[in-house]
Structure 1
Amino acid sequence: MTDSATPDLSTLSFEDALAQLERIVSELESGQAPLEKSLELYERGAKLKALCEQRLEAARLQVEKITLNKAGQVESVAPAEFN
């Protein structure tokens, strides 16, 4: 599935990658695609899933925890912790 109609993954935004992944899942769930096409779709979907996870992790790491003092002013900024 690497024809000219299929954009390179690195050029996709998170939203575009997720939309493509949703279309692929829908097509695979329909059961209408021939086996070879289903395998190509599955492979593309796995790559899109990995890309989405990578972009989400990068965004998570950019989130900052801001601590305010009693006056409501920024006291400190630290990386967020997600437990």
Structure 2
Amino acid sequence: MSESPTPQQPEISYEQARDELVATVQRLETGGTTLEESLALWERGEELARICQTWLDGARERLAAATGEGEDDE
């Protein structure tokens, strides 16, 4: 089931971002790329990590709202 993205929700799913991040890290670890390619991979990896974190933060908020947790926490 695919949800359409909201303003806070990335355009790709958590699983897609995670899988692409794993592949990106593997390419960086393997080496054999030019400096420019390595920088582009690094930047994409940073973006993918941000997307994954956005999904995880959203899931955490939904769980807290569903369980009523965090209402009185500072």
Q: TM-score range by the shorter chain?
A: 0.7 to 0.9
Q: 4+ residue stretches of structure 1 with deviation over 6 A?
A: none
Give the secondary structure class of the aligned counterpart of 1:11. coil
Distance 2:31 2:21 in 1: 16
**Residue 78 (1) aligns with residue 68 (2):** yes
How do 1:4-83 and structure 2 match up within 5 A? 10-64=10-64, 77-79=67-69
| Distance across 2 between alignment mates of 1:55 and 1:65 | 15
Task: Look at both structures and tell me which one has the larger radius of gyration over its CA atoms.
Answer: 1
Shift of 1:78: 1.2
Q: What residue ranges of structure 1 are gaps of 5+ in the alignment?
A: 1-9, 67-76
| Structure with the larger helix share | 2
Query: Partners of 2:11 and 2:65 in 1: how far apart?
Result: 30
State the number of aligned residues. 62
Q: How far 1:40 moved relative to its partner?
A: 0.3
Gaps of 5+ in 2: 1-9
Report the TM-score, using the length of structure 2 for normalisation: 0.73
SS of corresponding position for 2:68: strand
Identity %: 35
